[in-house]
Amino acid sequence: SDNKRKAIARTHPAISIQSESTNVKFNKNGGAYTRGSPISVDRKARVAQLYLDTVENEGKCTSRHLAGLAGVSNGYAAKVITEVKQKGFITDPKDIIKAGYKKQTTGVGSRTRRRQEAEHQQNSKTQEQPQKLSSKSAQKRQQKLNQGATMSSTKRSRPDAEDPTKTDELQLGWSDKQRRILTANGKAAEYYTAERGFPFAENELPHYWLSRGDKALWETFSKWKQESHKGPSSSVSGHQTPQVVGAWKRPLFYGGWEHSSNETEHVFNVQTNTLFVDLRLPVTRLTKARAAAVSSPLEKLTTGHELRVFARQHCFAGFSYTQSADAAVGVSKTTSSGFDQVCARHHWIDWNYVGAPRNRPNKWWIELQPNSNSKTECETQEMPQQWKEWAFATDECGQQYYCERWERLSSLNASSSPLHQRAVLALHSPGGIIVVAHNHFNFCLGQSVGDHLPSTDKTSLTEIVDDFVAQGEFDKARQWLGRIRGGHGTVSSGWEIDAAIEFWMEGQPFWSRETVELKCSRHQKEEKSWWESCTVTWNEQQWQLFECNLESFEQLQEFFDLSFSPTVE
């Protein structure tokens, strides 16, 4: 009743606020909300906020602990905790902040915000001039309440953690930031000139062979592959086996005055001796998608904002043409000191290629971390665990204008076999590229451009999608967004996808035993490797083995058999 609220408020005079559901002033930390009485949305939000802050700072918060901090009953605290978990679609309290509930509870209107500011000021006064409390237990409870209020107000002062507008800016600005770092804010093309000591041939451009058609491209890729088997001693300018074969994550990407890291995007870069697939997904896109429990095909992304965010990711695949550092020094002003190899990537499928080719090579130096090589029992040779990718050309200060630091993804888990951990495979078909390295696989399927796509004069995918969304042509935007699929997973998990452009594919197997068939001709020419006459048929489409380090067809069969029968702890 109102009289009971007033009575409780008189016994707990710390802070008094106005209820939105009644005209009675009640105490924030007293038991003013009796069973069956209306519950203020603002009050529930504050208790939930206090719970979130406690979990974030202490790792856990029980209903009894929350009741003591917020001055509410244990039952009410338990109810708030349950509601927080339900709204966030979570099971682990540590994931509450990631689930976005914090934004829901604090994203209030200006009137409520002004009231919260007034309460914060009142909190400060209360802390400066504490009330005389009648017992030690009351003093202890008031101390906890003041600590909780201070903690909550501190968290509220961080707009980047709560402001949905800020989150949208991060999502929609991700591609532009990546471009600025990679291009020295648009200056990179100016650095690649003969006058500056960084000339290049037209066929070094990343989309040169893509524009020549599939036949010419794969003939060239095959020629380069054969060069790599001759070894570096036969020709200093020929293709060498990369020293960075494996699966990599990218903890840091920086250039100019900006940087990004694995806190802002998840990167999976799988490199074989020849082919590669590189997948880059912004964390904001993944967090938002999972928090909203979106599990539907592209057609279910019905708003323009969703389509624009979906465009802000990246996947590309092709051939990494690698040379010795000495071979590249002869045509540039950069010395070989500190560099181990130089690599130029040639793209066949590219998420962001829409017909306008890049005007400079995708070329960079490889610097291996000194004394970082290691090997496991299943590996035949030591492999670097970290390396840096440095821009081939330098800026006005004589420095490489961007750098990416790469760390090896572990090949070990409970279900991986020695065969999974050492296998390196590359497959291709008219439909895409699949690469496997040390238990990790990446795939990139589809085509960059085609006559079936809506015409446009834009030069990047994000520009195309933004333009069609602005015109209300959502179907045309979806056609461009649906042309390429890419993802990452582990072989030993049964080929389960754990990260993908089409995020609704995550958690599903890439392929299954029922859809895959291995074939190998026993009459191949002697000069060919055994695997060059092998094919993998998947959903009635043939995939050619482009590279394989396994020793026999029987070993290849064993590799697939083990992958389709993952061991579960």
Q: What is the pLDDT of residues 339-393, one digit of tens each?
A: 999 999 999 999 999 999 999 999 999 999 987 665 544 444 578 999 999 999 9
73 — pLDDT class (breaks 50, 70, 90) = confident
Q: Which domain holds residue 195?
A: 175-563
Bridge partners (DSSP) of residue 265 are: 282
Instruction: Name every residue whose Cβ is closer than 8 Å to that of residue 305 and which is 6 or more positions away in sequence.
Output: 168
Q: Is residue 167 part of a domain?
A: no
**Amino acid identity at 63:** S
Do 149 and 233 belong together in one domain? Answer: no
Whole-angstrom Cα Rg for the chain: 29
Do 386 and 295 belong together in one domain? Answer: yes
Q: Is residue 345 part of a domain?
A: yes
Sign of CA dihedral 52, 57, 60, 66: negative
Q: Count structural domains, the chain.
A: 2
Mean pLDDT of 56-70: 81
Q: What would the pLDDT profile of 76-96 be if each residue is shown by its tens digit?
A: 888 888 887 766 534 444 444
SS3 at position 56 = helix
**Is the pLDDT reported for residue 24 higher than 60?**
no
Do 63 and 209 belong together in one domain? Answer: no
pLDDT, position 264: 94
Do 145 and 290 belong together in one domain? Answer: no
Percent of the chain with pLDDT over 90: 53
Do 261 and 153 belong together in one domain? Answer: no
CB burial of 243-272 (b: ≥16 within 10 Å; e: otherwise) equals bbbbbbebeebebeeeebeeeebbbbbbbb
Tell which of 135, 162, 189 closes a domain.
Answer: 162
Q: Is residue 319 part of a domain?
A: yes
Question: Which of 232-241, 442-451, 558-567 has the least mean pLDDT?
Answer: 232-241
Do 121 and 185 belong together in one domain? Answer: no
Do 196 and 250 belong together in one domain? Answer: yes
Alpha helices for 59-157 (secondary structure H): 63-70, 74-88, 96-99, 101-106, 110-128, 136-156
Do 80 and 130 belong together in one domain? Answer: yes
Do 107 and 187 belong together in one domain? Answer: no
Strands (E), 392-529: 403-408, 424-429, 432-437, 440-446, 484-490, 496-500, 516-520
* Higher pLDDT pick, 175 / 160: 175
Do 154 and 230 belong together in one domain? Answer: no
Do 107 and 200 belong together in one domain? Answer: no
Q: Is residue 170 part of a domain?
A: no
Closest CA relative to residue 277, chosen from 440, 413, 479, 483 = 440
Q: What would the pLDDT profile of 237-294 be if each residue is shown by its tens digit?
A: 678 999 999 999 999 999 999 999 999 999 999 999 999 999 999 998 766 666 665 5
Burial class from Cβ neighbours inside 10 Å (0-12, 13-18, 19+) for residue 110 reads exposed
Q: Is residue 339 part of a domain?
A: yes
Do 484 and 517 belong together in one domain? Answer: yes
**0.85 cut: is pTM over it?**
no
DSSP 303: S
Q: What would the pLDDT profile of 168-193 be if each residue is shown by its tens digit?
A: 778 899 999 999 999 999 999 999 99
Closest CA relative to residue 556, chosen from 525, 526, 535, 527 = 535
Tell which of 136, 162, 188 closes a domain.
Answer: 162
Q: Is residue 322 part of a domain?
A: yes
pLDDT, position 528: 77
**Is the pLDDT reported for residue 553 higher than 60?**
yes
**Residue 419, CA distances (Å) to 188, 297, 502 in order:** 42, 35, 29
pLDDT, position 372: 64
Q: Is residue 397 part of a domain?
A: yes
Residue entry with tokens 């009894």: 64
